Amino acid sequence: MIQGIWDQFLNIIREEAGSRVVETWFKAVSLYQWDSLQHTVFLQAPNAFVKDWIVGNYLDLIQLHLGRLLNVKTLRVVFIDACQEKSQAGSSTSSKDVDLVPAVLDKPKNALLKRLQSKNRGSFNIGYKFDTFVVGPSNSLASAAAQAITEKPGHLYNPLFIYGGSGLGKTHLLHAIGNGIRARNAKASILYQTADRFVSEFINAIRFNKVHKFQSKYNNIDVLLIDDIQFISNKEQTQEAFFHIFNSLYDLQKQIVFSSDTFPQNIEGIAERLRSRLAWGLVTDIHAPSLETKVAILKRKADLHSENLADDVAHFIAMQVDSNIRELEGALVRVLAFASITKQPVSIDLSKRVLMRSQEEDAVGVNFRKIVRCISRFYPYSLSDLRSKRRNKNLSFARQVAMFLMKRTTNKSLRDIGHFLGGRDHSTVMHALDKIEQHIEKTPGFSDQLRRMEREIRR
The class (CATH top level) of 368-458 is mainly alpha
Burial of 439 (0-12, 13-18, 19+ CB in 10 A): middle
**CA distances to 7, 33, 91, 92, 334 from 96, in Å:** 21, 8, 12, 9, 31
Q: Hey, where are the domains in the chain?
A: 2-109, 130-286, 291-362, 368-458
Instruction: Give one word for 213, left, alpha or beta, with left for phi > 0 and alpha for psi -120 to 50.
Output: alpha
Is the peptide bond between 159 and the residue preceding it cis, with omega within 30 degrees of 0? yes
Question: What is 291-362's CATH topology?
Answer: Helicase, Ruva Protein; domain 3 (1.10.8)
Give the C-alpha separation, 425 to 427, whole Å: 6
The class (CATH top level) of 130-286 is alpha beta
Number of CB atoms found within 10 A of residue 450's CB? 18
Work out whether strand 40-45 and strand 30-35 pair parallel, antiparallel, or are unpaired.
Answer: antiparallel
Work out whether strand 282-286 and strand 76-81 pair parallel, antiparallel, or are unpaired.
Answer: unpaired
pLDDT in tens, the chain (459 residues): 667 788 888 888 877 777 777 877 888 888 888 888 888 999 988 877 778 888 888 888 898 888 888 878 788 899 886 655 544 444 433 333 333 233 333 333 344 444 433 433 346 777 789 988 988 888 899 999 999 999 989 988 999 999 988 778 899 999 999 999 999 998 899 999 988 889 888 888 887 888 889 989 999 999 999 999 998 888 888 999 999 999 999 999 999 999 998 889 888 888 999 999 999 999 999 988 888 888 998 998 888 778 888 999 999 888 887 667 877 888 888 888 888 888 888 898 888 888 875 554 444 445 788 888 888 888 888 888 898 888 788 899 999 999 999 988 887 778 788 888 988 888 788 889 989 998 998 888 888 889 888 888 877
**What is the end-to-end Cα distance of the chain in Å, rounded?**
45
Q: Is 120 helix (H, G, I), strand (E, B) or coil?
A: helix
Give the C-alpha separation, 447 to 441, whole Å: 8
Give the C-alpha separation, 277 to 148, whole Å: 20
Q: Is 225 helix (H, G, I), strand (E, B) or coil?
A: strand
Q: What angle do CA 365, 368, 370 make, to 5 degrees?
A: 70
CATH of 2-109, one of 3.30.360.10, 3.30.300.180, 3.40.50.720, 3.40.50.2020: 3.30.300.180
